[in-house]
Structure formats: C-alpha cells, structure tokens
Structure 1
C-alpha cells in the first residue's frame, strides 16, 4: 500500500448528532460509504459535478448548493482552435428548489436530482441526475446566448467492481469535507444545439464525477486534476488534489487502473505558472516517485466572480497528461496524451 491513511470498509455517518465531524468517518474508501448527514447553515457546501469528454468535445454539468445560493451550470467546449464554447449558469438566491441528497445523487439507493424548470427560458437551467438500471442518466436543457436550445442526454455506465476514491478531509471538528471522485467511467449519448447534434459515443467517451459534501472555511485555495482514457495498454483514471488538504493527514490522490484504485497518501508537488496557465504544468510525488507527469493545456476556462458573498478565481485548464505512474503492485504505467484537466482555484464563499 502507498498510504497509511485509514481505509473505511463499512457505511458510516459523516457527522455526530451535534453536527461535528464523526472521528470514525475520517479516512478513505474504494466506494462511496459515507452518509453526509450535515447540520448547520452558512458554511455547508454540497455539489455534484459531472464532466464527460470525447476526443473533440466535452460537456460539464454542475448542481451546487452553497446554503445562501445555488449555482446550476451547463458548459460545452469544442477543442479545435476557435471552436465552440458555451456556458450557462443559473444563480438561485437562497438555493430555493435545489436539494442534494446525503449520498451520490442518482446512484442506486440514493435520490435523483432535478433542478430548474422543464422548459427553461432566458438564463435558467434544467439539470437532471437520475438512476437507471444501466447507470446514471445525465440530462440538461438551457438556451445558448444566441437563444438556440441546448439539450444534453448522456448515460454514464457503472462497470462491475469499478473503484472510486472517497475521502474525508478534516480541518477540524466543525470544518471538514467529504469528497467522492469517480474517474474513467464509460459514457454515451449526444448533445443537441439547435438542429445540430454532437455524438458522445464510442470507446473514447469518459465521465468523471466530483461529489462534494462538507462544512468549509470562508477562504480556501486548491488544485484539482483529473483525466480518463486508455494509455499504456490500460484504462487509466487520474485523480489529484493539492493545497487544500495540506496538514490534514488526508489526500485526495489516487490512480484507477483497469478499475482498481491505488490510493496515494503523499502530498503532490504541483508546479505551474499563475501568470500563464497555458504553460506546461508538472505534478509529481516528491518522495516516492509514484507520479511523474507533465500536463500540457490547450484551453483555459477562466472564471472571475465577485458578488459580495462570493469572490472566486478559477482557472480550469483542459489538456493532456504525459509521463508515468506506478500502481500498488509496482506496475509502471506509461501515460501518453491522456485527456483531462488541471485547475488553480481561489475561493472566498
């Protein structure tokens, strides 16, 4: 094993009855086992973020409840130079009508999530995350800035035995985060823009889930990187984090190779240029040499938000990972042009 962190193997409540962190919940698991029975208002944050990629396009759906407001977003990117980029975000003051379950939305045994009007107009957004026998159904509707209807209909498969990475990151008894990251999930479907269709199908369509539930400090900075695809003769999912976990005794770092998780307990060394996010990044394990990757971006989804309650600076770069990683059993995996992203975020919320 590459970590001394505690592995959780049985279902557990995230919180004690008074709303503080349950010490028994601190650790990591290969499947989502935590029930996020959060209590309190103002610092509680809940979200589901799905991103589905093909070799030419990606689409991302977000449903988030930040207590004092909710944000529901549809984002579409075409990679070609000068390609299509569309984003629609609906802001709901007070978060009215947005309720996220204690477990992964749309998973077996959990509650489906449906937000927004069935026929959204103007800046409104409809997002559905539903359980189906074959997997998780993702649907979304909105109008583009040119008032064309945009519709997303995707199915994310659940391969038997496919492992994910769930971690509790404890800043203290009253500030903590439960995150469940799922990579390299096969997906299929299509996106319609007006009368044109984008096919999200074939053996090279992959989904990533970022499921989050926690009680956050007012200000935080983080890195997050993920990628999915076939490389070196394997199906590989990369899941990396940085800065926000430092000093907590927990990391959100792991490799999913052919459906099997390798948990990495070492904090990663992230190197990038804040002045030029499109310059190459490096992500390495400084001691073990288990991760040695270069990330080369081709697009920066740069967001700046200042609303009084929220001060957000996000640079989410999409690109390719190259280098090598090593699994628990010592296998070296060559990583070549693995499609994914890496982000640099400052958040006051």
Structure 2
C-alpha cells in the first residue's frame, strides 16, 4: 500500500463544480450500459433507475451494488451491509457497545452475487442477505423502512419512519462514460425497535436515528474516500433550535462533476456544491479532524476507531471509521448560520482495491 503523509488535507480543483438538480425519473445507464449523461446531477428523491448496473457483461468485475444501513442509539451503533461486487457478495452485521468499546462482528463472503438481492431502484423491492452466518432483510412500507438482521449473537428488528416531506441526497458522480457511481445518502431519520445482543434486549427508542448509504455503479480498481455523518441540533442567530444532519464526502468525487455534500435542516436538504477540505492524522485517527468549505467549518472529535483491513490477493481494503461528535458552524442556502455542538456521528477514511 502507498504510504500517506501524516497530516492529510484533501486536494481539489479551485471553485465549486457546476451541478444540476434532477427532479424527474431518469435511467442511470444507456441501453448499451454506458452512463446516461442526462442522469448526472443530484436529487432530493430517489429518481434514478439503476437496473442497468450489473446486467449482462458490461463492466463485468467493476459493477458494485450495495445497501448499507446504520442505526445509532445512545448505547450502540448497528451497521448492516448487503453488497454484490460481481465476483463476490459481502454481507455484514456489526455492533458497537459505545460504553465498553466492544465490537461484535459477523461477516459472510459468498462467490458471485447469488446470496444478495438488491433492487434496481431504491424502494422498488426487498433487500436480502442470505447466508448461514448473516441474514439481513430490508423492506419498504407505507410509513418507512423495516430493518431486520440476525447472526449468532445479534437479532435486530427496527423501523425507520420517513417523515412527510423529508429530503434525501441522491448524486451521480461521473468519472467517464464507463466508470460512474450513483449514491443516495439519507441521514438522520428516526428509528425505533429492539436490539437483542447475546440474548439481552436493548430498546431502540428516543434519540435513536438511522443512515442509509445506497450505492450502484462501476468503479475503478483503486478508490479512496472520506465520509462524515452527524445528527443533532443547531442554534440559529435568533436563538431558535433546529434539527440538523450532516452529509460530508471527500476525495472520491474530485474528478467528477458533482459532490455528495449536503446539510439537512428540519428535513430540508441544502446542497453544498464545493469540494471540502478534510484534515486529519493518518498516524493518529483518534485526534480531532477538521472539515472546511465555503459554507461550513467543523471539527470532529473521535471517541472510538473502528479498524478494518482485508488483504485477499489483488483485493484489499483499509478502513478507519471513527465515532464521535461534530461541532462548529454551517450555513444554509439562504445564508443563515447555524452553530452546532456535539452532533453525534462518525468520520471515516477508506482505501480500496477491488
């Protein structure tokens, strides 16, 4: 693996990219499997049909499809992954006990994609991981999303309501007509249900929230990214308090025409079009991180570093996902400033060869 400098500020072109809001249904792929230029942009709703990804022989080995849900409570973090990577399917249920720092992890890797069910469009069908070690089921209903998962030590059943009128962030990032990614980030939705951990029940109740990372695309062999999420309250200049959720990305969008950056205030998306400066220490991930842009200046203080490394020949990954709190200031589309303090969430640094 390439050595990285200790202090790591991300680099990006000067000035924000030109981004287009998409409001009507659109296919991600052309009939021949290449990227549809009309699909490039961002949206507040899941308007992209991604069924062309993974169909036929186009981009074989480069198609990546996944559904990642995280449920955050004052006591635990639970993460569910269903993914199909062409040559293998990877499924995972991971739990963090936030008081003790104990991690409970179950991973299943199966050849090809047969153990994974992923719809061609967000919400158009069930999500399933079907292995002996890991079972995940995600189902959309009239009022929201039901998440269920089971491993030898974990049994989760949680409902994630979707409040009326709430936005999400959908983005198509184009690297070329043959390499592109569609992602949906849905941050800060309320969650309720129960977590059984080693037979002990833990309610998922007041203060719990959930995040969706929905991904469909064709990736280059090497990729690096940062991803930050936060949820809590912000205070405006007039003293009013607002629900605030952060969706912050870095590095992987630099060569494209769009970013995955956004600010949600009371459920409304305020799209951030410029690339962000991420500064953190790859030699000491639990030291504070800083993320800055034209409309935000935030500090992230980690409390726990989840470290994951995989080395399987030509396939390798390195992940540091740090859980902690965000503080600083953000600015809405109309120029209103909000001060945020202690927003719960995470920041991660990932390097992939896949």
Q: Judge same fold: TM > 0.5, yes or no.
A: yes
Query: 1:334 is matched with which residue?
Result: 339
Query: 2:108 is matched with which residue?
Result: 90
Query: 1:304 is matched with which residue?
Result: 309
CA distance in 2, matches of 1:134, 1:6: 29
1:236 Cα deviation after fit? 1.0
Query: 2:9 is matched with which residue?
Result: none
Query: 1:13 is matched with which residue?
Result: 27
CA distance in 1, matches of 2:87, 2:222: 16
Tell me if 1:348 matches 2:343: no
Query: 2:321 is matched with which residue?
Result: 316
Residues 206, 229 of structure 1: 8 Å contact kept? no
Seen in structure 2, the aligned counterparts of structure 1 residues 208 and 280 have a Cα distance that, compared at 3 Å, is same
CA distance in 1, matches of 2:49, 2:33: 13
CA distance in 1, matches of 2:129, 2:210: 21
1:229 Cα deviation after fit? 2.3
What pairs with 1:39-118 in structure 2 (closer than 5 Å)?
39=55, 40=58, 41-80=60-99, 82-104=100-122, 107=123, 110-117=124-131
Query: 1:224 is matched with which residue?
Result: 227
Q: Which runs of 5+ in 1 are unaligned?
A: 145-149
1:103 Cα deviation after fit? 1.2
CA distance in 2, matches of 1:100, 1:210: 13
CA distance in 2, matches of 1:211, 1:52: 15
User: Could you say which structure has the greater relative contact order, defined with CA pairs below 8 angstroms and 6 or more residues apart?
Assistant: 2
1:115 Cα deviation after fit? 2.1
Q: Which stretch shows the higher mean deviation, 51-60 or 312-321?
A: 51-60
Query: 2:245 is matched with which residue?
Result: 237
CA distance in 1, matches of 2:71, 2:223: 26
1:171 Cα deviation after fit? 0.3
Q: Deviations over 1:224-273 (max 9, x none)?
A: 11112233311111001111111312100000110110111100000000
Alignment match of 2:272 (pick from 264, 276, 284):
264
CA distance in 2, matches of 1:182, 1:228: 11
What pairs with 1:137-152 in structure 2 (closer than 5 Å)?
137-144=146-153, 150-152=154-156
TM-score, normalised with respect to structure 1: 0.92
CA distance in 2, matches of 1:24, 1:274: 38
Q: CA RMSD in A?
A: 1.3
- Aligned residue pairs: how many? 329
1:3 Cα deviation after fit? 7.1
Query: 2:238 is matched with which residue?
Result: none
TM-score, normalised with respect to structure 2: 0.90
1:209 Cα deviation after fit? 0.4
Q: Which runs of 5+ in 2 are unaligned?
A: 1-15, 236-240
CA distance in 2, matches of 1:48, 1:190: 21
CA distance in 1, matches of 2:252, 2:125: 29
Alignment match of 1:34 (pick from 20, 42, 48):
48
Tell me if 1:154 matches 2:163: no
Residues 3, 264 of structure 1: 8 Å contact kept? no
CA distance in 1, matches of 2:143, 2:257: 37
